[in-house]
Amino acid sequence: MPDLRALDLNLLVVFQYLMEERNLSAVARRLGITQPAASNALRRMRATFGDALFVRTPQGMLPTPYAQHLGGAVAEALGMLAHAMEAPPDFDPRTSTRRFRVAMTDVGEIHFMPGLMERCAREAPGVRIESVRLQGQDLQRELDGGQVDMALGAFQGLGGGLLQRMLFRQGYATLFRRGHPTAHEGMGLKAFRAERHLVVSHAAPYGQVNQALERAGLTLASHFSVPHFAAVPYIVSATDLLATVPRKLADGAAARFGLGVLTPPLRVPALQSNLYWHPRFQRDGGNQWLRGLVADAFGQR
């Protein structure tokens, strides 16, 4: 382990900016220094840590495994220091004009955004919520860096010391057009398998339903598909296709689009939706307020 007494803490800022930008010229511009000065800082970091840290590739300056190992701790340390130095005033939702960036999937947007907008209109008229689409390491990095305030939904691959709270669990349901000649609640697997289906091809993190369909004997490539859930109710209402989707989406879409709902004759694990946030923002007033609003509006009683 390097001797911390020999470490110029200013180098950690250069390190963090390189993790975000992956480009030495961009780091120099952000710091207001010359590129040779930024290159010199990188050389000093390499000497201090005994590792290349960032390697030039066609995709930019990519971090080594050791740099990735350091990344979370450096981002957290700098974020905590910046947060302490800012000493922001208490958050007042009635007067705040803060904009929160919240990661959601497309089906998450359908479920969460109307309720969040309605609550903000009543309780925090100046607050705005921006939904962003991120997954995996991209989402982890944005949460670590504070570019995303929280994540709502069923996300895979999140860890890295994030805090989380379970909101609810749900199963799956199959949507069909009312007046469909053969679809009905209680239909067996053989009849279900014989129907034409609409598959959501980019269903992560909901891909387990596609796996269940394949285990049941459906060849997904022989059916119609769309990349996301948002178009599903529109298509099902105008065709004789069946679409198996998360239960809350099915319940919401059925009334609006005049659709029938049946329990699919499949064994699919329940889907858990969580609220995720970074420990650095545990005591942030605005983050606390929004977490409380989300839990009150969507948490399973």
Q: Where are the domains of the chain?
A: 4-85, 99-169+272-298, 172-269
Contact predicate 61/52, CB 8 Å: no
Average pLDDT along the chain, 301 residues, taken 10 residues at a time: 71 92 92 92 91 91 92 88 72 94 92 95 96 86 90 81 91 94 94 94 72 89 90 96 94 93 91 92 92 93 73
For residue 13, the model assigns a pLDDT of 92
Please state which of the four CATH numbers 3.30.70.3340, 3.90.1150.10, 1.10.10.10, 1.50.40.10 is assigned to the domain occupying 4-85. 1.10.10.10
Distance CA 162, CA 209 (A): 27
Residue with tokens 């390190």: 15
How would you label 267-279 residue by residue, b for 16+ Cβ within 10 Å and e otherwise? ebeebebbbbbbe
**In terms of CATH, what superfamily is 99-169+272-298?**
Periplasmic binding protein-like II (3.40.190.10)
For residue 243, the model assigns a pLDDT of 95
For residue 206, the model assigns a pLDDT of 63
Instruction: Give, rounded to a whole angstrom, the gap between the first and last alpha carbons of the chain.
Output: 48
Query: Token pair of 33, please?
Result: 């220094």
For residue 192, the model assigns a pLDDT of 95
Cα-based angle 139, 134, 257 (whole degrees, multiple of 5): 140
Contact predicate 218/193, CB 8 Å: yes
User: How many Cα atoms sit within 13 Å of 161 on the Cβ side?
Assistant: 13
Q: Return the closest-CA partner of residue 150 out of 283, 280, 277, 295.
A: 277
What pairs with residue 151 in β-bridges?
Answer: 103, 276
Q: Which CATH architecture has domain 172-269?
A: 3-Layer(aba) Sandwich (3.40)
For residue 295, the model assigns a pLDDT of 95
For residue 89, the model assigns a pLDDT of 66
Q: In what order do the strands lie in the sheet with 163-170?
A: 128-132, 99-103, 150-153, 271-277, 163-170
For residue 67, the model assigns a pLDDT of 92
Secondary structure of residue 50 in the 3-state scheme: coil
Task: Give me the amino acid identity at 161.
Answer: G
99-169+272-298 and 172-269 share one fold: yes
Q: Return the closest-CA partner of residue 240 out of 175, 143, 287.
A: 175
- Radius of gyration for the chain, computed over Cα atoms and rounded to the nearest angstrom: 24
Distance CA 83, CA 252 (A): 40
DSSP sequence for 37-74: HHHHHHHHHHHHHTS--EEEETTEEEEPHHHHHHHHHH
- Is pTM, for the whole model, over 0.85? no
Residue with tokens 């130095």: 85
Query: Token pair of 138, please?
Result: 């991209």
Q: Return the closest-CA partner of residue 229 out of 204, 208, 211.
A: 204
Query: Token pair of 230, please?
Result: 């948002």
